[in-house]
Amino acid sequence: MISGRTIRLLPERAVAALLCAALAWPPCAAAADDGQWSLRELMSELGKTRRTEARFVERKYLRVLERPLVSSGRLIYIAPGRLEKRTLAPKPETLIVSADTLVIESTNRTRRTLRLQDYPVLWGFVESFRGTLDGDLDALERFYAVGLGGEPADWELVLAPRLEQMRAVISQIRIRGSRGSVRVIEVTEAQGDRSVMQVFEDDS
Amino acid sequence: MRLRARIAIVAWVALLAASGWIVARAQYSTDLAAFLPRSPSAAQQLLVDQLRDGVVSRLILIGIEGCDEAACAQLSRALRAKLDGDPLFSYANNGAADRLRADGELLIRHRYQLSPAVTPARFTVTGLRAALEGQLDLLASPLGMLAGRMLPRDPTGEFAAILYRLQAQNAPDLRDGVWFSRDGSRALLVAQTRAPGFDLDAQERALARIRGAFAKAQAQAGAGGARLLLSGPAVFGVQSRASIRGDALRITTVAAVCIALLLLAVYRSPRVLLLTLLPVASGALAGVAAVGASFGAVHGVTLGFGATLIGEAVDYAIYLFAGTGPEAPPDRALARIWPTLRLGVLTSVTGFAALLFSGFPGLAQLGLFSASGLIVAVLVTRWVLPALAPASYSLKVADRIGPPLLAAIAQARPLRLPLLAAVALCAGWLVWRGGAAWNDELAALSPVPQAEQRLDEQMRRDLGAPDVSELVIVRAATEQQTLQTAEAVGGALDRLVEAGGLAGFDSPARYLPSEAAQRARLAAIPDVRTLRRNLAAAATGLPFRSGVFAPFLREIEEARHAAPLTRRDLRGTGLEAKLAGLLVERRAEWMGMLPLSGVADPDALARALRGFDPAHVALLDLKRETDALYRGYRTRVLSFSLLGAAAIAALLLVSLRSLRAAWDVLAPLAAALIATCALLAAAGVALNIFHLVAMLLVVGVGSNYTLFFHRSARQDERPARTMVSLLLCNLSTVIGFGLIGLARTPVLAAIGSTVALGAALSLVFGAILTARVPPVARY
């Protein structure tokens, strides 16, 4: 069923693009926004999810380390705007983003509450996750130049930070998914460190 | 006789010339500390110093509103850039991160001297292992991205530890990278002046500089609608000086014109009018000169009182001119009233003299000013006016109003008992209310309008501090000893914070640790070979790449041989500005301040500080200390006022040689004061010490009335004339003080309304209780 829809969609787009290119017709402008249009479509698809729970495995490839740091746990998303990242291994730690605050709870240390406004880089970073899950294009575009590739069943968002102070830390964030679900988040830091988080939704 | 008059005039002119010379050379001050006691306790001395030139007194809060977020933020940045390099300011801050970044380099370079976590245990295998494991946790967490870059240089996380401690606890909201109010309508900045808070001329220059810089920034940005708001002690000081000046000048002028018009209408002689004003003008000039000569500087509030002298001194000439006529030349008319007038002046002077010994320079100035001004005014009336007055001037209008007045007074006697009953009720009510009638906050004395006090409060809340209310003060002979004491106290406070008894505190030692502490920290670092060995052992089994900590080993070895961080190294940084507010040298001793926030357990705090020598470590609760100071102040003024009242009673008893006569003179005054207090209290006015001072004035003015009423009952040859003069005196007093009562400066308003009310009641009560005239008047 899924592949059926994909097949039906593709030729239409290809035909339209060919027609525009060949005839240099005014509606070509519409075709140029075709990426934008499908970005909106993706966002509205993502925005449909009200609540989701998933398992994650995150690998951080750092220059100072010989081998990647691996952590795993659960992700809970509740629309709109609340995201919990509960790391279970190797050390339990909970991170909750809600509205303007970020709460970090770890077993050894006490609770720390940060206001995202005070940490623009962190805020932008958080918004890359949360904005995507919310399907909130405005939130994403506030911090990133957003590019979209792939197809609905296997799309890839490429986020390039706009703020200079953020570019000093993060060079790119790639988010891959299928339809309304996020599958992989890959963050490349300015100095070459990289982290890859795989997300496994409970029902898949 | 004529020779005596000539001598009097020459002496008078000489006095005026000398007074004018002194007044022209005198210094003028508006330092409210003059209204604080001269010899306070040690804690109060600290408090007074804080009010005069502490950090808080140097802070100017700046708000920019009336523009959208981006425009306000841009103006904030432009304004800060202009103020930052300005020699008038030690710093200007709007929360922008670039300042922290510049300081960051300094913090990184000196991290091993600044971080309290640097101890020998830190660099053992166990200590390093714990630090490395902590770093791994941090790398795994989302904050790792920010912290991870320092890892090769700083695996023990000293930089992060320093930053964490320096972070403001209640930082304001950031929007567009700069501080904003909670509701986002107003961009906020803070500037600290180099000049102390009491130097109002310097503060005025600083404020003008800010306004100029803002205007320039606004013009450059083209943000026409944006408004600049300024608040803080300096702003209040400068504004109230201007408004007291403006009030005093405007109201004195208006009052003088009104009284002059009234007198002109009654006298119908410009010459007599001018003569009436002579004693007042001479008295005011001599009063200011007396204060200038004996105190060196004349306080603004004392000058403001110049206006209030008009009230009583104008009366002297009125008493004289109401009594002159073809059959009574000025000399004779004066001789008739002189005994009564003399006693009246002595009464007033006795009241004010009590203030002279109150121990508060400001009040002593008021006392000296009033007493010397009144004496000069009555002497001018006695010796100078008769020589200058027209020979047979007669107050025509008195013959028309006099008889009905006497008739009315004659009718008033049955009102005695109801009046006494009403006054007794008032007194009972006041006693029942007790202390509630008093405003015990020093802020009540503030000449700052309430709307501006509220704005200040709100900006302070939005800025999250620096509302310093409780602080620990450490004192020692040298800077180093002070810092060491601050470190010891800081240790005790740290334990209290851990136990939850205190939310946090700041300390000068955070910005500049004592050399001893710095040396101890550097000495805790092992030599590079030991450290390398320990680090390698600690990293065994952890995933760190080998050689990754080479920068750490290099930098810590350099740090180990570094000279101690000094005040000089901090120059030009935000740390210097912070330190300047927390560590000062004064009167050959050093003083450090540790502001506390969120004291949850005052008992535990007291216990934590008990181990320290009270001569070096003291806890200061600014709010409580200030109000206690003021309460003591009020009690003291009250007792001196009562002393003055007792002296007045004794004076009258001795002069009149009759208990009955003293009662006649004093009872209406007491009744008027009680009724005035009750009326003010019923109107919701909380009494402060300026009301008390005003009541001394009421006694001064009112005692003249009752003395004349008393005389009218016995040896007055022309009671109708006397009654008219009293009415005229009272009208001029009520007009003069009624206008002062409308002043915007709370001090002047309190005095004006109290005296106007009290004087009017004294006259009416005197007419009812004391005056005794036959229904058919003689004149």
DSSP state of B54: S
Tally of residues, chain A:
204
Mutual orientation of helices B574-582 and B98-109 as an angle, nearest 10°?
A: 80
- Is the pTM higher than 0.80? no
A62 touches chain B (CB under 8 A): yes
B550 touches chain A (CB under 8 A): no
Which residues from chain B sit within 8 angstroms of residue A125, using beta carbons?
A: 142, 145
Q: One-letter amino acid identity for B64? A: I
Most A CBs within 10 Å: which of B100, B139, B145, B179, as the mutation test of the A interface? B145
Which residues from chain A sit within 8 angstroms of residue B175, using beta carbons?
A: 117
Q: Low-confidence residues of chain A, pLDDT below 70?
A: 1-37, 107-110, 118, 203-204
Which residue is it, tokens 């009590």? B354
pLDDT at B479: 93
- Domains in chain B, ordered, with CATH? 1-30+269-394 (1.20.1640.10)
B177 touches chain A (CB under 8 A): yes
A101 touches chain B (CB under 8 A): no
Which residues from chain B sit within 8 angstroms of residue A121, using beta carbons?
A: 145-146
Name which of A65, A95, A115 is nearest B543 (Cβ-Cβ). A65
Closest approach of chain B CAs to the CA of A52, in angstroms? Answer: 21
Task: Enter the tokens of residue B571.
Answer: 């120059």
pLDDT at B752: 87
pLDDT digits (tens, 9 = 90+) for A10-62: 344 444 444 444 443 433 333 344 445 588 888 988 888 888 899 999 999 98
Most B CBs within 10 Å: which of A62, A93, A166, as the mutation test of the B interface? A62
A118 touches chain B (CB under 8 A): yes
Phi, then psi, of B438 in degrees rounded to 5: -95, 145
Closest approach of chain A CAs to the CA of B166, in angstroms? Answer: 15
CA-angle at A15, arms to A9 and A16, nearest 5°? 90
Name which of A65, A93, A121 is nearest B544 (Cβ-Cβ). A65
A71 touches chain B (CB under 8 A): yes
pLDDT at B47: 65
Q: Under a CB-based contact definition with an 8 Å cutoff, are residues B85 and B203 in contact?
A: no
Tell me how far apart the alpha carbons of residues B473 and B122 are, in angstroms, rounded to a whole number: 31
> Chain A to chain B, count of Cβ pairs less than 8 Å apart?
65
CB contact (8 A) between residue B142 and residue A65: no
Which residues from chain B sit within 8 angstroms of residue A189, using beta carbons?
A: 145
pLDDT at A28: 39
pLDDT digits (tens, 9 = 90+) for B412-457: 888 999 999 999 999 999 888 876 667 666 556 666 667 777 887 7
pLDDT digits (tens, 9 = 90+) for B267-286: 889 999 999 989 988 998 99
pLDDT at A24: 39
Q: Under a CB-based contact definition with an 8 Å cutoff, are residues A130 and A137 in contact?
A: no
Q: Under a CB-based contact definition with an 8 Å cutoff, are residues B596 and B471 in contact?
A: yes
CB contact (8 A) between residue A125 and residue B548: no
B464 touches chain A (CB under 8 A): no
Select from B759, B743, B752, B758 the least CA-distant residue to B677.
B758
DSSP state of B122: G
At the top level of CATH, the class of A33-201 is mainly beta
Select from B188, B241, B165, B191 the least CA-distant residue to B55.
B191
Complex-level ipTM: 0.70
CA of B522: how far to CAs of B109, B221, B227, in Å?
A: 13, 50, 51
pLDDT at B98: 60
DSSP state of B196: -
Select from B670, B630, B645 the least CA-distant residue to B350.
B645
pLDDT at A10: 38
Q: Count helices and strands (H / E) in chain A.
A: 6, 11
CA of A2: how far to CAs of A8, A201, B627, in Å?
A: 10, 18, 77
Which residues from chain A sit within 8 angstroms of residue B142, using beta carbons?
A: 95, 104, 122, 125-126
Strands (E), B194-332: 227-231, 297-299
Select from B409, B371, B347, B378 the least CA-distant residue to B703.
B347
CA-angle at B332, arms to B330 and B335, nearest 5°? 110
CB contact (8 A) between residue A193 and residue B148: yes
B42 touches chain A (CB under 8 A): no
Select from B573, B617, B601, B569 the least CA-distant residue to B472.
B617
Range B258-261, long-range pairs (CB < 8 A, 24+ positions) = B258/B735, B258/B736, B258/B739, B259/B310, B259/B314, B259/B732, B259/B735, B259/B736
CB contact (8 A) between residue A69 and residue B140: yes
Tell me how far apart the alpha carbons of residues B765 and B762 are, in angstroms, rounded to a whole number: 5
What residue of B is the nearest CA neighbor of A115?
B173
Name the CA dihedral angle for B305, B307, B309, B314, rounded to a multiple of 10 degrees: 180
B141 touches chain A (CB under 8 A): yes
Most A CBs within 10 Å: which of B135, B141, B174, as the mutation test of the A interface? B141
Q: Low-confidence residues of chain B, pLDDT below 50?
A: 169, 466, 775-779
pLDDT at B529: 92
Name which of B145, B174, B548 is nearest A118 (Cβ-Cβ). B174
